[in-house]
Chains A and B, each alone.
Chain A
């Protein structure tokens, strides 16, 4: 019989054992009878000889070698029975564990997806790196097409590369139904580099980036294929319009591959030689270039990211050296055109660096890594507090079972066996809590994903954080760790062989904890001190984040956020030619301003807090830059109504007027920061600056208050506005409307009006500016809300723990307290006696907590605004709140203690 068989047929095995021994016994009796003994005598002698039948059986069971599994079954049954007998305890324990484990699972699954997982659908993702230029002021990921081609021609053997633009929004129309999709312009090597095969049709190959404008083909993602084309294989060869250009779908990429930006999934890919046809014009560095001409042939436009693959076990250095050499040659060519020696020196220092890209590149990862880490730590600490609570509950349960354990130990139970039994109980709790936690985690995770995007890094539409084996393993480990954490100490503690005392003393005074003559700091109390300390860290954190949120929402952004409606328009991707723009803009403004309830309408490149921005270098005639100084201003182009629409106040001068025509002198409005830094503040009016060394100068006609365009936290940097009338061929992307009443109520009206005025123009994100403001603070409010919730839970758990320990201590000391009352102690005296203990634990916990807080808050400093991580007021208030709450939790048992009737207490003795 194999062991598994024996396990399954446990009853039969037991029956056989009994039968075998019974046979032996009967044979002995028979033999004795045969020798002439009476039956009674024979029975007596046989019993004497045989010894304890049960003991023999026990030894036989041990000899089977499957003992532990059998015991486990028994322990589980015992543990289940124990838990069922105290459903309150079981419920509290399982619920707090489920909460702790669930929260950890949820945060970890998002963290895992965004920060730890390798790119999906990509072959050997660890071999991938993204190239960057370093040595300049800040590394950037952009290369020109000629530079990329030269670098690719000199790649070391075995390595490969591909170039691509960052993820961009494209306007894809099948027939007459346009839709905004995410996509990339890519070089022909793109799919080869990632090792992506077609699911249907073909993907791009090197021949797809040969001729400028000559590749009107697109590849779509598997997910998009299913969603938009219902997985129809005849999609290959289908004609579509992308950003107004006629294209043909060449194929579908294999399932799972969504590009190199986790959280921002690509749905369509187009050859980058189609840049001009698609009107692609996003983040690029220009140097002696003409952005209106096709970009690929221009060496002065750096607009591409380059990914490389270096086979495992090979050094990437030769590739970097080769690329750096190419870059230097290129910079020499470019640098020869610039007279600034400091800039040339900087270019000479530039090297090509590599950033591991196996997990992809993600702006979102940057944006959410700090908040996610803070959350991970927070929920970890909450779980720790929950574990301490359960440990405390188990401790007091075990203490009341001390006598039982002492009896069992004294009649021969092994200590290891008892510990195993108690651990089984905690493992069962952990298992129940973990299972419930996993379910809670699956749900919480989706809540988290919905909340996690910040204003400027919204999580893409296709994002689903899957449960995977990482997460399951994490949860399983968590359960195991938690079970051991809260089970081990009580198990060791309560099985310590102190037989004499425990057996002799009655159950009432059996415990060493709680007795006045006992040790001052029991394990239970130490656990509470730890809880209080950790709780303080969470309280301080939550307070700091809440204050940060308050500071940020009361920041003066320089514009009035009420009564403004903004909408994103996109004449470029709609394929509207530049010469038709002025008429379009005029018609648009005329019709929108005619809507009742609209005060002012304006158009601009981008609205505040929208995530978009444009920057440019500038020169000041007669005021050359110091060596190494870079003069950069943020740029916006707008119609005259813009300042009124946003309520941006003028400090000096005027805004734009109809007189600022193309023929009139070029004008600009600058912000205070620029006026102060470069034009001596109030002397700025009438001064001039240039965009390039040889371009005509702008005259400053107005200075406005500083406006926070990108981010509420930022230091305001120099910024200039230029009139649309002097830049008529700009593709403006923001419609800005000041309304008399609630802007959101007008959203659909405005949308309809725009559609009527310009039927071909896509309109997106029609929202109130105040919404934009809120979503800019989404991440902060997300962190603030979650940490507040968790700090609240931690406080509650810590109070429960404190209450439990004190209530238990008081119940143990009933007799002593009664005696004190009998001897004349007043109620106040007894109350103070008990409260003193609570106060001691709270204060020691708070002091330790302050140390922990100061050590740990540095991690969170990056997320704070307008206050230091060691803000003394916050620290003091949090500590006081904590101590006060602790005292409240300790008051209830103390009051009970003070009301102990001496007669009752003494009669118990």
Chain B
């Protein structure tokens, strides 16, 4: 496996972003990628190679649930929803992120 290892922060961040998007309502994988791109004003691009493994991992952990339903285009797609456990995880991670960014910000400001 020559693929470079993603840092925990990045991976954890992607998981958190996915959970956040799914929180707004049932959504398929393509939609999640679109929403992340739109909301971040094209700053964040999610590769399929990271998105789908992350979705499957979250589902495997029981943070996401999924079912098949018709998409806007009428085709059947796999829609993900947040489980209560996922909601809990999202809250915890959001709080953690806030603390972290505040701490990092503090340090950066001090150095400046």
Q: Which of B16-24, B54-62, B89-97, B100-108 contacts A (4 or more CB under 8 A)?
A: B54-62
> Out of B1, B28, B49, B53, which one reaches A414, CB within 8 Å?
B1
User: How far is the CB of A676 from the nearest CB of chain B, in Å?
Assistant: 86
Judging by beta carbons under 8 Å apart, are B1 and A63 in contact? Answer: no
Contact across chains for A412 and B1 when beta carbons are under 8 A apart: yes
Residue of B48, B75, B78 near A16 (CB, 8 A) is B78
Contact A56 B52 (CB under 8 A): yes
CB-contact partner of A27 in B1, B54, B73, under 8 A: B73
Of the candidates A19, A21, A26, A62, which one forms a contact with B48 in the assembled complex, judged by CB atoms under 8 Å apart?
A21
Q: Is B47 an interface residue (CB 8 A)?
A: yes
- Where the two chains meet, the residues of B that have a C-beta atom closer than 8 Å to any C-beta of A are 1-2, 28-30, 33, 47-49, 52-54, 56-57, 60, 68, 71, 73, 75-78
CA distance A208 to B33 in the complex (A): 90
The answer to whether B78 and A63 touch across the interface, beta carbons within 8 angstroms, is no
Give every chain A residue within 8 A of B68 (Cβ-Cβ): 16
- Chain A residues near B57 (CB-CB < 8 A): 63, 65
Q: Does A229 lie at the interface of the complex (its beta carbon under 8 Å from any beta carbon of B)?
A: no
Chain A positions within 8 Å of B48 at CB level: 21, 24, 49-51, 56
The answer to whether A907 has its CB under 8 Å from any CB of chain B is no
A412 touches B2 (CB 8 A): yes
**A 518-560 to B, binary, CB cutoff 8 A, 1 in contact else 0:** 0000000000000000000000000000000000000000000
Measured between C-beta atoms, what is the minimum distance from B57 to chain A in Å?
A: 4
Asked if A28 contacts B30 (CB within 8 A), the reply is yes
Contact between chains at A24 and B29 (CB < 8 Å) = yes
Distance, CA A64 to CA B66, complexed state (A): 14
- The answer, among B2, B33, B53, for a CB contact under 8 Å with A56, is B53
Out of A27, A52, A55, A59, which one reaches B30, CB within 8 Å? Answer: A27
| B28 to chain A: closest residue by CB | A23
> In this assembly, does A80 line the interface, its C-beta being within 8 Å of a C-beta of chain B?
no
Q: Is A285 an interface residue (CB 8 A)?
A: no
Closest 3 A/B residue pairs (Cβ) = A59-B53, A63-B57, A63-B56
Q: List 15 A-B contacts (CB under 8 A).
A: A3-B60, A20-B52, A23-B28, A23-B29, A23-B78, A24-B30, A24-B52, A30-B73, A56-B49, A56-B52, A60-B52, A63-B57, A63-B60, A64-B56, A412-B2
Chain B neighbourhood of A21, CB < 8 A: 48, 52
| CA A50 to CA B54, docked complex, whole Å | 16
Chain B residue, CB-CB nearest to A417:
B1
A63 and B53: CB pair below 8 A?
A: yes
Contact of A65 among B60, B71, B78 (CB under 8 A): B60
Q: Cβ of B73: which chain A residues have Cβ within 8 Å of it?
A: 27, 30
Contact B56 A60, beta carbon cutoff 8 Å? yes
A65 to B60, CA, bound (A): 7
Are B78 and A20 in touch, CB under 8 angstroms?
yes
Bound CA–CA A50/B53 (angstroms): 14
Chain B residues with Cβ below 8 Å from A50 are 48
Closest residue on chain A to residue B77 by CB atoms: A23
- B30 / chain A contacts, CB cutoff of 8 Å: 23-24, 27-28
Q: Which residues of the other chain, A, contact B33 by a CB distance below 8 angstroms?
A: 24
Cβ-defined contact, A51 with B29, below 8 A: no
* Interface residues in A71-100 (C-beta closer than 8 Å to B): none
Bound complex: CA A19 to CA B76 (Å): 9
Contacts of A62 in B (CB 8 A): 53
Contact between chains at A20 and B53 (CB < 8 Å): no
Please indicate the chain B residues that have their CB under 8 angstroms from the CB of A60 in the complex.
Answer: 52-53, 56
Given contacts A20-B52, A23-B28, 19 further A-B contacts (CB under 8 A): A21-B48, A21-B52, A23-B29, A23-B71, A24-B29, A24-B30, A24-B48, A27-B30, A27-B73, A28-B30, A49-B48, A50-B48, A51-B48, A56-B52, A60-B53, A60-B56, A63-B53, A63-B57, A65-B60
Q: Is the CB of A23 within 8 A of B56?
A: no
B47 contacts across to A, CB distance below 8 A: 51
CB distance from B66 to the nearest CB of A (A): 9
Check A59–B78 contact: CB distance below 8 A: no
User: Which residues of B are found within 8 Å of A56, using beta-carbon distances?
Assistant: 48-49, 52-53
The CA of A56 and the CA of B29, in the complex, are separated in Å by: 13
Whether A59 pairs with B52 at a CB distance below 8 angstroms is yes
In the assembly, what is the distance between CA of A21 and CA of B68, in Å?
Answer: 13
**A528 nearest CB across to chain B (Å):** 37
CA–CA, A773 to B39, complex, Å? 99
Query: Complex Cα distance A20/B31, Å?
Result: 12
Q: How far is the CB of A902 from chain B (nearest CB, A)?
A: 45
Tell me whether B77 and A20 are in contact (CB under 8 A).
yes
B25 CB to closest chain A CB, in angstroms? 18
Q: In the complex, A65 Cα to B75 Cα: how many Å?
A: 29
Residues of B close to A65: CB separation below 8 A: 57, 60
A60 vs B49: C-alpha distance in the bound complex, in angstroms? 9
Looking at the assembled complex, report how far the CB atom of A407 sits from the nearest CB atom of chain B, in whole angstroms. 15
Which chain A residues lie closer than 8 Å to B56 at the CB level? 60, 63-64
What CA separation (Å) do A63 and B64 show in the bound complex?
13
How near does chain A come to B37, taking the closest CB pair, in angstroms?
11
- A23 CA / B68 CA spacing, docked (Å): 12
B43 to chain A, nearest CB (A): 17
Q: Provide the residues of chain B in CB contact with A19, threshold 8 Å.
A: 76, 78
Chain B residues in 8 Å Cβ range of A414: 1
CB A31 to nearest CB in B, in angstroms, measures 9
Closest approach, in angstroms, between the C-beta of B48 and any C-beta of chain A?
5
Instruction: Kindly name the residue among B53, B71, B77 whose own CB sees the greatest number of chain A CB atoms within 10 A.
Output: B53
Q: How far is the CA of A19 from the CA of B68 in the complex (A)?
A: 11
| Complex-state Cα separation, A2 to B48, whole angstroms | 25
Chain B residues whose C-beta falls within 8 Å of the C-beta of A412 in the assembled complex: 1-2
Known: A23-B28, A23-B78. A64 touches B49 (CB 8 A): no
- Who on chain A is nearest to B33 by CB? A24
Shortest Cβ distance from A6 into B: residue: B60
A130 to B75, CA, bound (A): 83
- Give A18 Cβ to nearest chain B Cβ, in Å: 11
Report the Cα distance A28→B71, complex, angstroms.
14
**Chain A neighbourhood of B2, CB < 8 A:** 412
Mask for A7-42, Cβ within 8 A of B = 1, else 0? 000000000100111011011101000000000000
**Cβ of A10 to closest chain B Cβ, rounded Å:** 15
CA distance A882 to B20 in the complex (A): 75
